[in-house]
Structure 1
Amino acid sequence: ARTLVASAPVMLARQAAVAHTVFSADLRRPVEVGADQEQALVTWLSRRLGANVRAPKLAPLGYDLIGGRLLPGQSGPVAQFMYQDAAGQRLTLYVSHDQVQNHETGFRFAQEGRVNVFYWIDGQFGYALSGSLARPELSRIASSVYEQLAPVVATPAPAPAAPN
């Protein structure tokens, strides 16, 4: 069991790379639900994963959301969001909610054939950003995704002023 838990983040990266390879090459049907139905996509994937998921905004980095799909993961469903730039280059974000036993939080890098993957665990979520981009460019985009998906820590409201 210890080996399986230790290798779970590596499996996350490998599954993400395989899913990227399979679906990003499909020109006719790369996603189940298109970006024109983004809210319905996010609601559906959140319900299926049992946790709120979001599609990061990558348009400022040159990548527009084209949609997403539901996929099988190690122990339950996972979400995949797909993005594309003006030249047709695609990126996928693989989101897993079954990372309960993992405590690794740092960015990791993996390569599966021509697909580079930056992956990380954040609480119960595992994320993997995959693409055939150079490592520095993919790292820059992964940092943006991480910043957008990091939990927002609520700042306490200021204490009311004492009556005079």
Structure 2
Amino acid sequence: MTDPVREDDLHAYVDGALPEARRLDVEAWLAAHLEDAARVQAWAGQNQALHAAFDGVLNEPLPIDLVRAARRRPVRAPWRAMAAALALAASGLIGYGIGLREDQPVPVPLHFARDAAIAHAVFSPEARHPVEVDAAHAAHLVSWLSKRVGVPIKAPEFGALGFELLGGRLLAGESGPVAQFMYQDAGGHRVTLYVRRAVTGNRETAFRHVTENGVEVFYWIDRDFGYALSGQIAHQDMQKLADAAYRQMMGG
């Protein structure tokens, strides 16, 4: 009898730390439990982003000023040292991801656009698993994401502009589940549409644009939900796609 799959098994699967037999058990579980599969894919994407950002730092020598400062500091309780290290790592990652000083406030809509840009940067380069549910099962994909996000949503059509739906995935956001639809053109260029529940009380409906670390993002908020189209293609092409998405998602 196969043991039930636990949270520890999912984390070990992402880390590549499971024995072969248990790995096959977990993969069978994920094939039948899309919600857990979404979590695992998100964790794997986070790991890739962390490695891309910080692997090069591991081989760098410690700055001499840090070494001297460490020698001067008294020994602290281990849990306090770990907490300080985690806080430093988190602040460094956030600063790397969004390019802001720690004391610089981030407007809510801009924060949303940056989340969309990061999600695009993490998942759009994927060769083997760019989406969880592919376009061959588009009806199931839209129904599943609508249920998880909490509002009927649709995947806009970009065929007239040369982009076809690849599929989509479920992500975790600060305000709840997030839907991501991915599109690709004949040249392999990809754009993603990011849909999530907006922050309560935010009613900004203007159509806006921002560029985040080379990713073009067009975004808007419709009542309680935010939409962001992200890509790394020519600005005018992104504008056309964003206009089409805006018209279709807003019912125009």
TM-score past 0.5 threshold: yes
Q: CA deviation at 1:87?
A: 0.2
Structure 1 residue 134 displacement after superposition:
2.1
1:34 is the counterpart of 2:134: yes
Deviations 1:93-125 (CA, angstroms, capped at 9, x unpaired):
000123432111111111111111001111111
Structure number having the greater helix percentage: 2
Residue aligned with 1:116, SS = strand
Which is greater in Rg? 2
8 A Cα contact 2:216 2:235, kept in partner: yes
Distance 1:79 1:122 in 2: 15
Mapped partners of 1:50, 1:12: distance in 2: 18
- CA gap 1:114/1:83 in 2 versus in 1, 3 angstroms: same
Q: Which residue of 2 aligns with 1:159?
A: none
* CA distance in 1: counterparts of 2:201 and 2:109, whole angstroms: 10
Is this contact kept in 1: 2:175–2:197, CA < 8 A?
no
163, 168, 178: which one aligns with 1:63: 163
Q: Is the partner of 2:203 in helix, strand or coil?
A: coil
227, 239, 242: which is aligned to 1:127? Answer: 227
The aligned counterpart of 2:122 is 22
Query: Is 1:86 matched with 2:186?
Result: yes
Match of 1:105 in 2: 205
Identity over the aligned pairs, expressed in percent?
A: 51
Counterpart CA distance in 1 for 2:118 and 2:142 is 22
1:146 aligns with 2:219: no
Q: Which residue of 2 aligns with 1:160?
A: none
Q: Quick one: which amino acid aligns to residue 168 of structure 2?
A: G
CA contact (8 A) 1:117 1:131 kept: yes
Q: Structure 1: where are the runs of 5+ without partners?
A: 153-164
Higher strand share: 1
Query: Is the CA contact (8 Å cut-off) linking 1:81 and 1:93 kept in structure 2?
Result: yes
- Give the RMSD, CA atoms, in angstroms: 1.6
State the TM-score, normalized to the length of structure 1: 0.86
Displacement over 3 Å in runs of 4+:
none
> What is the CA distance between 1:38 and its match in structure 2?
0.3
Gaps of 5+ in 2: 1-103
Give SS of 2:107's match.
helix
